[in-house]
Each structure stands twice: as structure tokens, then as C-alpha cells.
Structure 1
């Protein structure tokens, strides 16, 4: 899975759910960096990402993420398994 393509797809999901077309994600981006990224939005983001990439994350895995980069690493690991 190509890193930049995956980041762009995830960024588009964030833009759709947060209704923020100018949003730019980086690997270091956290919920504290983005207005509107609360617990409910977090669930919506995870569900949309799982649907888009046809994967399922465990609760433990989701809770371990500290930033967008860790989410992307989990996606990459799923694609390579």
C-alpha cells in the first residue's frame, strides 16, 4: 500500500466527516490539533476508514494510537498481512 495514497485517502475521509475541505493531515496530527475531532467523530472516522480499506481494528489497537501516523501504520500492517 503506497503511503502517500493512503494518507490522501484517509485525509479525504477526515475532510468529509469533519466537513473541512482545507484540512491537511500529517503523521504527527492528533485529535488536539483538529477542531471538531471529539470522541463521537473519532468513532465515525474509524468506521469510515475500516469501510474504505475493508479492515477491522481491535479496540486495543485503536486505543493505542497517539496520532494519525500510528493509524496509518496499522493500515499498512493490515495490508501486508
Structure 2
């Protein structure tokens, strides 16, 4: 990702994907948030979250890479690498 604004845009998209996948519009996350911090975020919902992110951002996230992600910040880093490789730009 290019800028702090880009990073914040990705965090907002991840947060929105988590809200959608967990059917909870009130979830708030930051870069240190882990699955254990969010009610209902288990291994099955993790897959739904990843699929929702892929749909929202038009990217493909390798399952083996996603399985190593422990925090929202690490997920944002992974998404940033994927966006950089693909040349896609995040919509703010």
C-alpha cells in the first residue's frame, strides 16, 4: 500500500467484511484485534471473513497465507502485499 490513508481504507474494508460475515454491524476492530477479541469469530467464520474480503476487494487470498494471520494488522499487511502484486488500488 502506498499511504496511511490506503492502509486505513483497507482496515475499514476488513472491518466491514467482519461485520458482514459475523452479522454484527456494531463490531469495531483495530490493527491489534485478534479473532479471540471478537464474539463469534471462529475458524468457520474466519473463512467467511476471508471470502467477504476477497469479494469486496476483488482479490484472491491464499488459504495457507490467511491461516497464519493472527491480527487484523497482519491481515491488512497481507492484503497490502496482494494489492501491490496485482496492481489493484483500494477504493477509499
What TM-score, normalized by structure 1, do the two folds share?
A: 0.90
Runs of 4+ in 1 over 6 A off after TM superposition: none
Look up the match of 1:33.
Answer: 37
Larger deviation, residues 13-22 vs 65-74? 13-22
The structure with the greater share of residues assigned to helix is 1
Structure 1 unaligned regions, length at least 5:
none
- For residues 9-60 of structure 1, the C-alpha deviation after alignment (integer angstroms, 9 at most, x for no partner) is 1111111221222211111111100110011111100111111111112222
Report the RMSD for the aligned CA atoms in angstroms. 1.2
What TM-score, normalized by structure 2, do the two folds share?
A: 0.80
How many residues in Structure 1 have an aligned counterpart in Structure 2? 81
Look up the match of 1:76.
Answer: 80
Structure 2 unaligned regions, length at least 5:
86-92
Look up the match of 1:58.
Answer: 62
